[in-house]
Structures are given as structure tokens and as C-alpha cells.
Amino acid sequence: MDAWNLLYESLEQKVLRLMEQIRFLKQENERLKQLLSQNQETLQTMQQMLKKSEEEKKLLTTAALLVKTEQKDIQQANSRINSLVREIDECIALLTKE
């Protein structure tokens, strides 16, 4: 074989290797695109879950505040009722003495 044939075969082998490498890289690129798409969907789902959790936290905080306020109001009402009952008892006691 002459030098041109050797050069041609060497070049042909390099081109075939490059073509194989291009095919592999295209497959890898497609795989990575699919992985990216899946990760983006997962991220979007997680962001929605986070937003929902934050809203639930706000609702629970508000509910806890309302319960605490209601308990305070109930305690105040009970104290007022007890005070009024004592006053009534005193009035009845005064009326029965007369």
C-alpha cells in the first residue's frame, strides 16, 4: 500500500470513531434532556407542595390564635358569671335577713 491509502484508511477510521462518538453524545444528550424534564416536573411539584404547606401553616397559626382568644374570652365570661352569682347570693342573703 502506498502512503495515500494508509492516510485514507487512517482518516476513514478517525471519521468512523468521530461518527460513533457523535451518536453516543446525541444519545447521552437525549437522556440528559429527559432527566432534566423529570427534575423540572419534580421541582414544580415540590414547589406546589411547599406553597400548600405554607398556606396550611398560616391557617393553623390563625386557628391556634382564635382558639387561644376564645379560651381567654371564655375564662373572662366565667369569671364575670361567678362574680355576678356572688353578687346575687349576697343580695339574696341581704333580702332574707330583712
Query: What is the residue whose three cell numbers read 407542595?
Result: 49
d(CA 77, CA 71): 10
37-74: pLDDT as tens digits: 999 999 999 999 999 999 999 999 988 888 888 788 88
Average pLDDT over residues 4-29: 95
Average pLDDT over residues 72-86: 88
What pTM, to 2 d.p., does this model score? 0.56
First to last CA, the chain: 142
Query: What is the residue whose three cell numbers read 373572662?
Result: 76
Query: 98 falls in which pLDDT band (50, 70, 90)?
Result: low
